[in-house]
Structure 1
Amino acid sequence: MPEPKPSVLFVCIHNAGRSQMAAAFLTHLSEGRVEVRSAGSAPAVAVNPAAVEAMAEVGVDLSTETPKVLTAEAVQASDVVITMGCGDTCPVFPGKTYLDWKLDDPAGQGVDAVRPIRDEIQRRVHGLLENLGIQPRF
């Protein structure tokens, strides 16, 4: 019987920038070896266009993603919950690993300001994969 996949939930306020980029990188780099979710405590209407553009520059497509609302069920179903500026709005359940990634908010920023945020998220996702014992795609 195969081992269950680790499950990671990325949470930020609007689920339109940081958490979307992190989820897309983890999905891309893990090649399906991690169950990936993202959500926001107050989801936006659409993903930040500058985040979509910045991710396209590195070959990751965010154009079909939509912000999702954070639910207790999503947290409960995840092994690792990574927050990015959502404060105390994320429910806490015993037995989960919680990490807080302090990152600049790309909301209202142009693509030039989003690129360094994207690059830092990619670096952290590589580290997360190492901690999960999964070799990244590249």
Structure 2
Amino acid sequence: MSDIPEVLFVCVHNAGRSQMAAALLDHHAAGRVRVRSAGSAPAETVNPAVVAVMAELGLDLAREFPKPLTDDAVRASDVVVTMGCGDTCPFYPGKRYLNWELDDPAGRSAEEIRPIRDAIDAHVRRLLAELLP
């Protein structure tokens, strides 16, 4: 593990959960963790309702875009957090894998996404406490 831990968040479309997790970890870590996100089947855009609920926390996802999952991204990461991508996520020995069971925000309203965002925030804070004791 390098001096700065690297975390990769992966979901199917990289339009909701993994984008929220990456923004939250990046915010809380304040430069002490390298953060990436990707999707096994990236969408065209980040979910607008996700952008809205993150803006409520002062986090701007408006310029973010879904990125494809690559082997290089997985290899570069110390921790790979999957969120509903199942068997499509590549596995490399020696990496730490976490699977967070979270509802997919796709097709949901901002009111329905807020609890998902808050659950992700709780997971992210726990992970950060492990990475930077």
Question: What's the TM-score once normalised by structure 2's chain length?
Answer: 0.97
Residue 133 of structure 1, CA deviation: 1.9
Q: Aligned letter for 1:15? A: N
Question: Which residue number corresponds to residue 46 of structure 2?
Answer: 47
SS of the aligned residue for 2:35 comes to strand
Does 1:94 pair with 2:65?
no
The CA deviation at 1:68 is 0.1
SS in 2 for 1:45: coil
Q: Which amino acid aligns with 1:12?
A: C
**Partner SS for 1:114:** helix
After TM superposition, give the deviation of residue 113 of structure 1 in Å: 0.5
Partner of 1:133: 132
Question: 2:115 is aligned with what amino acid?
Answer: P
**How many Å separate the matches in 2 of 1:111 and 1:94?**
38
- Cα offsets for 1:22-68 (capped at 9, x unmatched): 00001111001100000000000000001000000011111110000
CA separation in 2, counterparts of 1:9 and 1:50?
A: 22
Q: CA deviation at 1:4?
A: 1.7
Q: How does 1:28-39 map to 2 (within 5 A)?
A: 28-39=27-38
Query: Residue 95 of structure 1 aligns to a residue in which SS?
Result: coil
1:111 corresponds in structure 2 to: 110
Q: CA RMSD for the aligned pairs?
A: 0.8
Partner residue, 1:7? 6
Q: Distance in 2 between matches of 1:10 and 1:78?
A: 10
Secondary structure of 2:112 counterpart: helix
Report the Cα distance in structure 2 between the residues aligned to 1:26 and 1:126, rounded to whole angstroms.
Answer: 7
Q: Any stretches of 5+ residues in structure 1 without a counterpart?
A: none
* Matched positions, count: 132
The residue identity in structure 2 corresponding to 1:110 is S
Does residue 1:62 correspond to 2:94, yes or no? no
State, as a whole percentage, how many aligned pairs show the same letter: 64
- Structure 2 unaligned residues grouped into runs of 5+: none
Q: Secondary structure at the match of 1:81?
A: strand
Question: Aligned partners of 1:76, 1:24: CA distance in 2, in Å?
Answer: 21
